[in-house]
Structure 1
Amino acid sequence: MKLETLLVKNFRCYTEKSFRFNPHFNLIVGQNASGKTAVLDAASVAIATWLLGFKKKNDKKSLTPTDATLSYVEKEGESQFIEAWPVLVSATGEIKGQFVGWERSKDSPTGNTRYGHAGDLIALARECDQQLAEDIKLPLISYYGTMRLWQDPRVSKPKVSLSKSSYRPSRLEGYKHCVDPRIALKDFVAWFARQEWNAFQEGRESTMLKVVRKAIIGCVENAKHLRFDPKRGELIITFEHSEPQPFNFLSDGQRCVLALVADIAQKAAILNPQLGDDVLKETEGVILIDELDLHLHPRWQRHVIEDLRTTFPKVQFICTTHSPFLIQSLRSSEELIMLDGLAPAQLANKTLEDIAAGVMDVNSPEVSYRYAEMKGVAMEYMKMLDKAELSPQEKLDEYKKRLADSLAPYADNPAFQAFLELQRVSKLGE
């Protein structure tokens, strides 16, 4: 599965907007409140349509009344919000070698989410549902929001049990919570624990366990080994040149990447166990990630995209970011989706200053905002001094007050103030 286009109408902040996606990697960039997360939410509604073709629906994603675009208007003497209807999400893409178009819509706050124009996509899913016992490949779909690690989609708190050594999941469990933006970390830990217990009983690791462990170690910086500790009931990860660390002792960045990669790899392994060692290389699909750079040090940000590409080469990623380091690591400008402004023709060899100024609209990125502000104040101060020096005597007091007011916000920098005060005294006297 690959998304090619996405069209939204009356969805969140968009009255009408269309997007075209690169088949490999997409990085959505824009200022706060420009609609980055809204694009991912709309895309999640689109890809979740695939699940409607399976008898056992593991997840649902419908349009809700809060998805409607709001207008603040005067009506009958009162100011109020007016919802725009109908809300529509339309998409095209390639699924199982076929080009398909489909849409979901909602006509009113109380109406159901319609899928009448999604028949072709649902029919393909039904074919797969009937052939689950065969060696067909199922596409991977998943959505990860900014709160992906801190909220578990499960209401209950399952305990890790090692007694179910014969447990074999249905392939469709790979779609469980797939468009819920939260990661079911407890589910993964329980799955990993069962896999290691089976490996202990049988004297060898399953292919699923090996590929998932390899994916995590390949994407978490300096990781060497990952295992489950039954005494602590949690994952233990070993890094180069350090002692083993429990998952809860890791940094937020380490936990975010570990949980993200683990969830993707586990879903792929459950959906397509027949692919064996090549499951991560051969599984296709669409992954949505909000703020891919979340909690990551800039050094890690510089290679996280390539890590994901290498580990999941046939998956299409659609991500958002505020990081110039991620933008710099893209392979071409075709992978950059700008919500405000135009993407540059070339990204290769662009400096961070070039990207910050040219792509992210940050003025003077080579210095801090306060430094640039102080420099501007100093220039205006000197210009005001020149005018004051030529002004009549009766206006000097007014100029001196304006000069003093312009320096007042920088009381924390006495050297800055003292220098400009000396300039004032030399030109205007005390």
Structure 2
Amino acid sequence: MLKTLKLSQVGLAPTLQVDWAERINLIAGDNGLGKSFLLDLAWWALTRTWAGPVALPAPGNKKATIDYLVKGKTRAATPVTSSYRRADASWPLPASRPTMPGIVIYIRIDGGFSVWDPARNYWRTDPDRPAAYHFGAADVWNGLDMEGRRVCEGLERDWINWQEGRKPQFEALEAVLQAVSPPSERLRVGPPQRLYIGEGRDRPTLLMGSQAIPVALASAGVRRMLALAYFLVWAWHEHRTAAKLLGKQPENRVVILFDEPETHLHPRWQRTVLPSLLAAIDKLQGSGGHAPQMLVATHSPLVTASLEPMFDAERDDLIHLSLQGGQVVAEQGGWATQGDATNWLVSETFGLEQARSVEAEQAIEAAEALMRGERSHVPGLGSRKAVHAALQRLLPAGDPFWPRWLVSTKAIKGVDGGRA
């Protein structure tokens, strides 16, 4: 697991340090402050590979460094420092054997995945062994070739192969699909089905009610969760196969990096996606498994609210990135239960003044100014009559702001007969 990550002259701050919790790490903050950047750097620290472009130092000639600490199963964590080498745009690392973090899976927002397997990628002495497996969005479905070798058949072919062969992977896939299903309807595997005339293979389907729908035609949200379920099963079983060939014990530790899990998901699914991911990993691990370490970047108040019942300050943390004085700051240890998604929206984590439309917020601000005896500076809302009309248009009849406004304006007998 990743313990610490410290950046110097990298990104939008002269220095930035994150101390990662052992289980759930939620990364929140406005766009452009570096949430995905932190995940990219965490992947590099855990695997010594880049899942995307190499991180670049801040402009200028100051020395740029990345320090990190990875804890293995038994070995004490050893600090590692890398200084950017401008000659070849690289971050050199010590040649000694690195600490092994377990299986690392990076779920990217673009639909791609990266997998680092300790049986297939760790401490490479074989020049033909890849440093990691990186899948673009299309590779997830169609398979991946690396240096002339077929390393993965892809979701559709593997699914059919597992299903028709009644392989253990198919049983695992069904269990994981059940775990990550939306609350409204379970993801149920349907019979294989031929989709296109002239095509020589069947394709997997899902049962929607009594109808079989090809997974290739499923919605974007369903497809993303199908890809997640498939990749968990693929990475888990491929690791065990490789470990058996090597005569080694398979690894039970997992690190998950997840960029915006709410992408494409309905609110009902957003508030279950992370708890269901933990449940899915439990199903793969069985008894005796270790809780995964999860690093999750999110913009969703429903995702944060969904973790309130299970949040443990001893094992979990909220990392809030904010801009202060033109520099990005990481604040930790500030988790506070908010009770619902609306309260999360107006909390420091998401920073809205009100969980309303901009126009409704402006109307209420204008009304509050008038109630204080001040002049409203909101254009078009300088009089009580204009504010009242705006409130009528923008607020529902049962809105909790109405009593304050009606009492203040003495419009007690009704909206139409008042003096507003």
TM-score if structure 1 supplies the norm length?
0.66
TM-fit CA distance, 1:294: 0.9
Counterpart position of 1:30: 29
- Map Cα deviations across residues 236-268 of structure 1 (whole Å, 9 max, x no partner): 332452412122322211111111221122111
Give the Cα–Cα distance (whole angstroms) in 2 for the partners of residues 297 and 44 of structure 1. Answer: 28
Distance 1:249 1:214 in 2: 22
Which of 353, 357, 378 is the equivalent residue of 1:368?
357
The aligned residue for residue 299 of structure 1 is 268
Change over 3 Å in CA distance of 1:105–1:306 after alignment to 2:
same
User: 1:324: Cα distance to partner?
Assistant: 1.0
What are the equivalent positions in structure 2 for 1:104-119 lying under 5 Å apart? 104-108=82-86, 110-116=88-94, 119=96
For 2:378 and 2:25, the matched residues in 1 are separated by 50
Gaps of 5+ in 2: 122-128, 144-151, 245-249, 283-289, 323-330, 395-404, 411-420
Q: 1:207 — aligned with what?
A: 168
Amino acid at match of 1:369: V
8 Å CA contact 1:144–1:182 kept in 2: the answer is: no
Partner of 2:45: 46
Is residue 2:71 matched to residue 1:94? yes
Establish whether residue 139 from structure 1 lines up as the match of residue 117 from structure 2.
no
Higher CA-based Rg: 1
In structure 2, the partner of 1:310 is: 279
Contact 1:272 1:283 in 2 (8 A): no
Deviations 1:33-55 (A, max 9, x none): 22211111111111222xxxxxx
The DSSP-based 3-state class of the residue aligned with 1:292 is coil
Kept in 1, the 8 Å contact 2:8–2:64? The answer is yes
SS in 2 for 1:287: strand
What are structure 1's unaligned runs of at least 5 residues?
A: 50-58, 71-81, 126-137, 154-169, 388-398, 424-430
Partner Cα separation in structure 2 for residue 24 and residue 179 of structure 1: 24
Question: Percent same amino acid at aligned positions?
Answer: 16
Match of 1:321 among 275, 298, 311: 298
Q: Give the CA deviation at 1:322.
A: 0.7
CA distance in structure 2 between the aligned counterparts of 1:103 and 1:180, rounded to whole angstroms? 28
* Structure 1 residues 282 and 271: alpha-carbon distance in aligned structure 2, compared to 1, 3 A threshold: closer
State the one-letter code of the partner of 2:188.
Answer: K
Matched residue of 2:229: which SS?
A: helix
Contact residue 5 and residue 20 of structure 1 kept, 8 A: yes
What is the letter of the counterpart of residue 93 of structure 2?
Answer: Y
Cα deviation digits, residues 342-400 of structure 1 (max 9, x gap): 554542x623233222232434434333212112224446778x88xxxxxxxxxxx9x
Give the match's secondary structure for 2:221: helix
Residues 380-395 of structure 1: pairs in structure 2 closer than 5 A: 380=369
Q: 2:320 aligns with which of 314, 338, 356?
A: 338
Q: Separation in 1 of the partners of 2:131 and 2:139?
A: 9
Compared CA separation, residues 14 and 120, structure 1 to 2 (3 A): farther
Query: Residue 312 of structure 2 aligns to which amino acid in structure 1?
Result: S
Please give the per-residue CA displacement for 1:403-428, whole angstroms capped at 9, x wherever unaligned: 86858x99x969669x9xx99xxxxx
Structure 2 counterpart of 1:317, one-letter code: M
2:344 alignment partner in structure 1 = 355
Superposition RMSD in Å: 4.2
CA distance in 2, matches of 1:287, 1:329: 18
1:135-214 aligned within 5 A: 139-148=102-111, 172=120, 178=133, 184-185=139-140, 186-187=142-143, 190=154, 193=157, 196-197=160-161, 200=164, 204-214=165-175
Give the counterpart of 2:231 among 252, 260, 263. Answer: 263
Native 8 Å contact 2:4 2:18 kept in 1? yes
2:188 equivalent in structure 1: 224
1:214 Cα shift? 2.6
CA separation of 1:115 and 1:61: change in aligned 2, threshold 3 A: farther
CA separation of 1:33 and 1:148: change in aligned 2, threshold 3 A: same
Asked if the contact 2:160–2:202 (Cα under 8 Å) also holds between the matched residues in 1, the reply is: no
Query: Counterpart in 2 of 1:133?
Result: none
Compared with structure 1, are the counterparts of its residues 326 and 109 closer, same or farther at alpha carbon in structure 2 (3 Å cutoff)? farther
Whole-angstrom CA distance in 1 between matches of 2:350 and 2:154: 45
Q: Distance in 2 between matches of 1:47 and 1:100?
A: 12
Distance 1:28 1:298 in 2: 19
Aligned to 2:125: none
Q: Which amino acid aligns with 1:30?
A: G
1:176 is displaced (CA, Å) by 7.6
Provide the C-alpha distance between the structure 2 equivalents of 1:329 and 1:110, rounded to a whole number of angstroms: 44
Residue 231 of structure 1: how far off its partner (Å): 4.8
Distance in 2 of aligned mates of 1:217 and 1:175: 32
Q: What is the identity, as a one-letter code, of the residue corresponding to 1:144?
A: I
Distance in 1 (CA, whole Å) between partners of 2:138 and 2:21 is: 25
Q: 1:251 to 1:109 in 2, by over 3 A?
A: farther
Match in the other structure for 1:128 = none
Q: Secondary structure at the match of 1:286?
A: strand
Report the Cα distance in structure 1 between the residues aligned to 2:82 and 2:52, rounded to whole angstroms: 8
- What count of residue pairs does the alignment treat as equivalent? 344
